[in-house]
Chains A and B, each alone.
Chain A
Amino acid sequence: MSKEFETVIGLEVHAELKTATKAFCSCTTTFGAEPNTQVCPVCSGFPGMLPVLNRKMVELAIRTGIALNSEIPEICKFDRKNYFYPDLPKAYQISQYDLPICQGGFLDIDVDGEQKRIGITRAHLEEDAGKLVHQGDITTTPFSLVDLNRSGVPLLEIVSEPEMRSAREARAYMEKLRSILLFAGVSDCKMQEGSLRCDANVSVRPVGQKEFGTRTETKNLNSFRSLERAIEYEVRRQIEAIEDGEKIVQETRTWDEEKQQTRSMRSKEEAHDYRYFPEPDLSPLKISREWIAAIASNMPELPVQARRRLVEEYALPEYDAAIITLSPDYLEFFDQCISIYNDAKIVSNWMMSELNRLLNQNNMEISDCRLKPADLAQLLKLIDDGSISGKMAKTVFEEMFKSGKKPELIIKEKGMALISDEATLISLIDGIIRNNTKVMEDYRNGKEKAFGFFVGQIMKVSKGQANPAVVNKLLKERLSQ
């Protein structure tokens, strides 16, 4: 019988900090600009150029540290991390080695209704590299082009303790971290655009063993799904290897999204010697306690506080509150909706079922959504006052999501409004009774089922638009006359 294995996971997350300008020069940081239009002699590594630290970048890191319960030491410093690559113009990256801006910290995740605390080792500031553009594959391209727009964009690397025990925990950590960064307003966290990136350190060990197994580091995880899949794959691979009597090699691996597997990039022996040393162009950074206090007193609401608010103020279940507080845009949508339509559970249901389904289907963020919270609130009111059935509301909602049109307009355009006008309905009902005198007799003789037949007929003739409540009332009246 094979042994039971325990998985050990630690994550290194790179978050691009939301500054207007780069880490050490005044170039703008807008994503998606024409190649090499956001560059200057500093961020393209020209001779004689010197870095000047962006104050905003430090402030955002402090804000993150506060949100992650980290200690922010009075002194941190910058170091040079040396390696040659065409997208790294100075051939060193300004980073922080032994004295990072944030030390320690934690965040809490929920998995299967259980809360678990995951430790944060540290978070340090650094600058991003540029990127290479190849024609097709890197191994066969006849030449590569360098785009330095991203070079010098500020990053915060957040390193967790190896305290996650499953791919699901790792995903939950990543989702929680993202929500904290979003709420703290420090990063856009767009994994597709690379403003949030993640490397996973994974190892396995027999249950009960104290020492960690040999770990691998997997890169290129640019969605929650690939993070989860890659870890699952890597765990399986490592267990199988051990069971086959092989040794796990410490190495860097990359996730191949197409093949859904990890493959080796470089071994420990091939790993870079980064030759870190203190960056002589920047003095050690002193962070006053007053500055930290000022930032702390201006912190935006964080997920943990928002969640408590939803549970306490609106009596939402913990589960609903956790989902709604995954992103500030999502919470904002909820808050706006609830200010117009005050049944929180109904709003939450619609957001978690219909809205989420459509967002996922279209691979969209709520911020890209044309549907406005006030319009959802309006739709819910229309259901309540009987203008539209719950079933039809779902169709209207889909149209609202697609076009951004107001619900009333869609109902009108599609002629979906319920018919509640008594005169109209009476003439409809009377007509049907006239044509079905036999059934009417049955009903009057106590055959209850006949009532349902009439309702069905009315709905059919009205194409489902007859207001059922009104129909029930009127039909009873007409049949008993």
Chain B
Amino acid sequence: MELHELTVHELHEKLAGREVSAEELVSSFFSRINSLEPKLRAFLTITEEKALMRARETDKLGKYEGLDGIPFALKDIFCTRGIKTTCASKILENFVPTYDSTAGRRLEEQGGILLGKLNMDEFAMGSSTEHSAFYSTCNPWDLERVPGGSSGGSAAAVSAGETPFALGTDTGGSIRQPASYCGVVGLKPTYGRVSRWGVIAFASSLDQVGVFSKDVRDCAIVMSIIAGKDPLDSTSVELEVPDYSSFLDGNVRGMKIGYPREYFQQGVEESIKTAVMQALKKYEEMGAIIEEVSLPHSEYALPAYYLVAPAEASANLARFDGVRYGLRDFDAENVIDMFSRSRSQGFGNEVKRRIMLGTYALSSGYYDAYYLKALKVRRLIANDFEKVFNDYDLIVSPTAPSPAFKLGEQTGDPLTLYMNDILTVPVNMAGLPGMSIPCGLVNGLPVGMQLIGKAFDEGTLFKAAHAFEQNTDYHKMRPTLGVK
């Protein structure tokens, strides 16, 4: 097997067994990146020189513990000290932070080596990575299709073997949906489980940092490193972080799994339903108890989400005003004109659309009808989940209603695009952990299954997802990097 095909734990074995040096490993990933990028375009910035230097330092120390010598990449929403962080937006095209995100820093402290920054929808707003201000990323399974989004670069890069793992963020499905489209494992942890410090905010009450990996074990390894309280993020939770690898025992006997009927209804392609139902059958064979459940307020999740998220975004993105950093229009007549011209030029259409939606929803006279009502719906959605979790350990559903769509196919109609998030958004609204793992192929395109757990019970997700892997081969599927 080639190095780029290996998982984090396999690469670690090779390093620890001195079969390969960190420098050789990192170099091999850059040759992979350099050969694939012209057609894949998953990266926005490549940090080859820094990475090789770090790899040589690692080899000099000759110690290969934790992530020592293991390459990784970050969605370009994670601030990186001394390295451009654009959020795929013109407004931050030349922004170089003086600080690192906590999650990225923890990976580097454990010896991980940053390869570069990954493409995304501008400010994480989108489900296809076509809303990047710079270029679209292609799906490694079919280069004419989207990788999903907003963390499309992360999903594509892991799927294509450009990086062993990557971090992304998930506000309404931005990790799980691209993981599903690209046939990789994607975890959105419980809200508050991973620090948001140094991650450019989209919707602060929904954003959560998570992992893309080739298999569940890798995901558990990375998650054990990035999770945990951060004094710099007041919303991160003071709770002990278990060693997630300890959940990987392959045993789901007696586990109670509910599948919500609302997640298998209209709008979800038949082939997808079939793939997920087959996976559920598999769980049953493995000794789990499978029952249909109901999450009755699901249909209100999407409209409520499109009030809460844009409302918070309208405030979070207000700081990009051209005063202190980022794009500024120097021809402006006065300061108000400068704000408006800088923002007009700096933001793309989807971002502007959501800022306007959010501003409207918070406006005096509309607040109660929109924002406040959305918060109430949010509570109802969380209650739905709580009720089911009184009796069940896990909820399983499809991750997205369809497999990856073609580039350019859905850019005209934002509402259709928003429907991609219909199965993932409720999980963010309730703040729960959700994971997408590959569970089938439809017309040669990967299909993802979503596992939803109780708050801070990522362990059960790892247990169930790993057990599925033990009994199937979907996680071993690799993309063809061609056109179908």
Which A residues fall within an 8 A CB radius of B?
41, 44-53, 80, 82, 84, 86, 89-92, 144, 146, 273, 275-277, 280-283
List of 8 A-B pairs having minimum Cβ-Cβ separation, nearest first: A91-B318, A280-B205, A280-B204, A275-B362, A47-B200, A45-B319, A48-B198, A48-B79
Chain B residues in 8 Å Cβ range of A280:
203-205, 235, 312
Cross-chain contact A86 with B323 (CB below 8 angstroms): yes
Cβ distance B332 to chain A, nearest Cβ, rounded Å: 12
Known: A90-B318, A146-B323. A283 touches B99 (CB 8 A): no
Cross-chain contact B201 with A48 (CB below 8 angstroms): yes
In the complex, what residue of chain A is closest to B237 when comparing beta carbons? A283
Known: A53-B234, A277-B371. A48 touches B101 (CB 8 A): yes
Chain A residues in 8 Å Cβ range of B314:
82, 275
User: Which of B31-39, B45-53, B90-98, B149-157 lines the interface with chain A?
Assistant: B90-98
Cross-chain contact A91 with B319 (CB below 8 angstroms): yes
Cross-chain contact A51 with B205 (CB below 8 angstroms): no
Chain B residues in 8 Å Cβ range of A41:
97-99
Chain B residues in 8 Å Cβ range of A47:
79, 85, 87, 92, 95, 97, 200-201, 319-320
Chain B residues in 8 Å Cβ range of A144:
335
Cross-chain contact A50 with B335 (CB below 8 angstroms): no
Cross-chain contact A283 with B235 (CB below 8 angstroms): yes
In the complex, what residue of chain A is closest to B340 when comparing beta carbons? A84
Cross-chain contact A82 with B315 (CB below 8 angstroms): yes
Q: Mark B128-162, 1 if CB is under 8 A from A, else 0.
A: 00000000000000000000000000000000000
Cross-chain contact B201 with A44 (CB below 8 angstroms): no
Cross-chain contact A277 with B99 (CB below 8 angstroms): no
Known: A82-B315, A146-B323. A275 touches B79 (CB 8 A): no
Cβ distance B341 to chain A, nearest Cβ, rounded Å: 13
**Which residues in chain B, 186-202, are within 8 Å of chain A measured between CB atoms?**
196-201
Known: A48-B79, A48-B101, A50-B197. A281 touches B362 (CB 8 A): no
Please measure, in the bound complex, the distance between the C-alpha atom of A86 and the C-alpha atom of B328, giving whole angstroms. 13
Cross-chain contact A91 with B85 (CB below 8 angstroms): no
Among A45, A82, A275, point to the contact of B324 (Cβ < 8 A): A45
Cross-chain contact A90 with B319 (CB below 8 angstroms): yes
In the complex, what residue of chain A is closest to B338 when comparing beta carbons? A86
Write 22 A-B pairs (CB below 8 A) sorted by A numbering: A41-B97, A41-B99, A44-B324, A45-B319, A46-B97, A47-B92, A47-B95, A47-B201, A47-B320, A48-B198, A50-B233, A82-B314, A84-B336, A86-B323, A89-B324, A91-B318, A91-B321, A275-B359, A280-B203, A280-B235, A281-B201, A281-B234
Chain B residues in 8 Å Cβ range of A277:
311-312, 315, 362, 367, 371
**Which residues in chain B, 82-114, are within 8 Å of chain A measured between CB atoms?**
85, 87, 92, 95, 97-99, 101
Which B residues fall within an 8 A CB radius of A?
78-79, 85, 87, 92, 95, 97-99, 101, 196-201, 203-205, 231-235, 311-312, 314-315, 318-321, 323-325, 335-336, 339, 359, 362-364, 367, 371
Q: How many A-B residue pairs have CB under 8 A?
A: 103
Chain A residues in 8 Å Cβ range of B371:
277
Among A52, A53, A84, point to the contact of B321 (Cβ < 8 A): A84
Cross-chain contact B364 with A273 (CB below 8 angstroms): yes
Cβ distance B233 to chain A, nearest Cβ, rounded Å: 5
Among A48, A50, A82, point to the contact of B318 (Cβ < 8 A): A82
Chain A residues in 8 Å Cβ range of B198:
48-49
Among B234, B321, B362, point to the contact of A283 (Cβ < 8 A): B234
Cβ distance B151 to chain A, nearest Cβ, rounded Å: 16
Cross-chain contact A48 with B197 (CB below 8 angstroms): yes
Chain A residues in 8 Å Cβ range of B339:
84
Cross-chain contact A46 with B232 (CB below 8 angstroms): no
Cross-chain contact A89 with B363 (CB below 8 angstroms): no
Cβ distance A125 to chain B, nearest Cβ, rounded Å: 15
Cross-chain contact B362 with A50 (CB below 8 angstroms): no
Known: A41-B99, A273-B363, A281-B204. A91 touches B315 (CB 8 A): yes
Chain B residues in 8 Å Cβ range of A90:
315, 318-319
Chain A residues in 8 Å Cβ range of B320:
47
Chain B residues in 8 Å Cβ range of A89:
319, 323-324
In the complex, what residue of chain A is closest to B92 when comparing beta carbons? A47
Chain A residues in 8 Å Cβ range of B362:
82, 275-277
Chain A residues in 8 Å Cβ range of B205:
280
Cβ distance B323 to chain A, nearest Cβ, rounded Å: 5
Cβ distance B376 to chain A, nearest Cβ, rounded Å: 13
Please measure, in the bound complex, the distance between the C-alpha atom of A86 and the C-alpha atom of B85, giving whole angstroms. 23
Please measure, in the bound complex, the distance between the C-alpha atom of A91 and the C-alpha atom of B314, giving whole angstroms. 10
Among A52, A84, A91, A146, point to the contact of B232 (Cβ < 8 A): A52
Cross-chain contact B234 with A52 (CB below 8 angstroms): yes
Please measure, in the bound complex, the distance between the C-alpha atom of A80 and the C-alpha atom of B362, giving whole angstroms. 11
Chain B residues in 8 Å Cβ range of A49:
99, 197-198
Please measure, in the bound complex, the distance between the C-alpha atom of A84 and the C-alpha atom of B339, giving whole angstroms. 8
Cβ distance A71 to chain B, nearest Cβ, rounded Å: 25
Chain B residues in 8 Å Cβ range of A276:
362, 367
Chain A residues in 8 Å Cβ range of B201:
47-48, 281
Chain B residues in 8 Å Cβ range of A275:
314-315, 359, 362-364, 367
> Which of the listed residues A45, A47, A52, A90 has the most CB atoms from chain B within 10 Å of its own CB?
A47
Cβ distance B28 to chain A, nearest Cβ, rounded Å: 31
Please measure, in the bound complex, the distance between the C-alpha atom of A472 and the C-alpha atom of B314, giving whole angstroms. 88
Cross-chain contact B318 with A92 (CB below 8 angstroms): yes
Cβ distance B194 to chain A, nearest Cβ, rounded Å: 13
Please measure, in the bound complex, the distance between the C-alpha atom of A209 and the C-alpha atom of B201, giving whole angstroms. 52
Cβ distance B87 to chain A, nearest Cβ, rounded Å: 7
Known: A45-B324, A89-B323, A144-B335. A51 touches B234 (CB 8 A): yes
In the complex, what residue of chain B is closest to A42 when comparing beta carbons? B232
Please measure, in the bound complex, the distance between the C-alpha atom of A90 and the C-alpha atom of B95, giving whole angstroms. 16
Among A44, A46, A48, A53, point to the contact of B199 (Cβ < 8 A): A48
Chain A residues in 8 Å Cβ range of B231:
52
Cβ distance A151 to chain B, nearest Cβ, rounded Å: 11
Please measure, in the bound complex, the distance between the C-alpha atom of A92 and the C-alpha atom of B232, giving whole angstroms. 20
Cβ distance A390 to chain B, nearest Cβ, rounded Å: 62
In the complex, what residue of chain A is closest to B372 when comparing beta carbons? A277
In the complex, what residue of chain A is closest to B192 when comparing beta carbons? A283
Chain B residues in 8 Å Cβ range of A91:
315, 318-319, 321
Among A53, A80, A86, point to the contact of B335 (Cβ < 8 A): A86
Cross-chain contact A80 with B315 (CB below 8 angstroms): yes
Cβ distance A331 to chain B, nearest Cβ, rounded Å: 39
Cβ distance B361 to chain A, nearest Cβ, rounded Å: 9
Cβ distance B4 to chain A, nearest Cβ, rounded Å: 30
Chain A residues in 8 Å Cβ range of B335:
86, 144
In the complex, what residue of chain B is closest to A51 when comparing beta carbons? B234
Cβ distance B339 to chain A, nearest Cβ, rounded Å: 6
In the complex, what residue of chain A is closest to B123 when comparing beta carbons? A47
Please measure, in the bound complex, the distance between the C-alpha atom of A92 and the C-alpha atom of B79, giving whole angstroms. 21
Chain A residues in 8 Å Cβ range of B203:
280
Cβ distance B308 to chain A, nearest Cβ, rounded Å: 9
Please measure, in the bound complex, the distance between the C-alpha atom of A84 and the C-alpha atom of B200, giving whole angstroms. 19
Cβ distance A162 to chain B, nearest Cβ, rounded Å: 22
In the complex, what residue of chain B is closest to A87 when comparing beta carbons? B323
In the complex, what residue of chain B is closest to A45 when comparing beta carbons? B319
Please measure, in the bound complex, the distance between the C-alpha atom of A439 and the C-alpha atom of B290, giving whole angstroms. 130
Cβ distance A97 to chain B, nearest Cβ, rounded Å: 11
> Which of the listed residues B92, B98, B199, B315 has the most CB atoms from chain A within 10 Å of its own CB?
B315
Chain A residues in 8 Å Cβ range of B318:
82, 84, 90-92
Please measure, in the bound complex, the distance between the C-alpha atom of A46 and the C-alpha atom of B335, giving whole angstroms. 19
Q: Told that A46-B324, A48-B201, A91-B321 touch, could you supply 19 new A-B pairs with CB distance under 8 A?
A: A45-B319, A45-B324, A46-B99, A46-B325, A47-B92, A47-B201, A47-B319, A50-B196, A52-B231, A82-B362, A86-B323, A90-B318, A92-B315, A275-B363, A277-B312, A277-B315, A277-B362, A277-B371, A280-B205
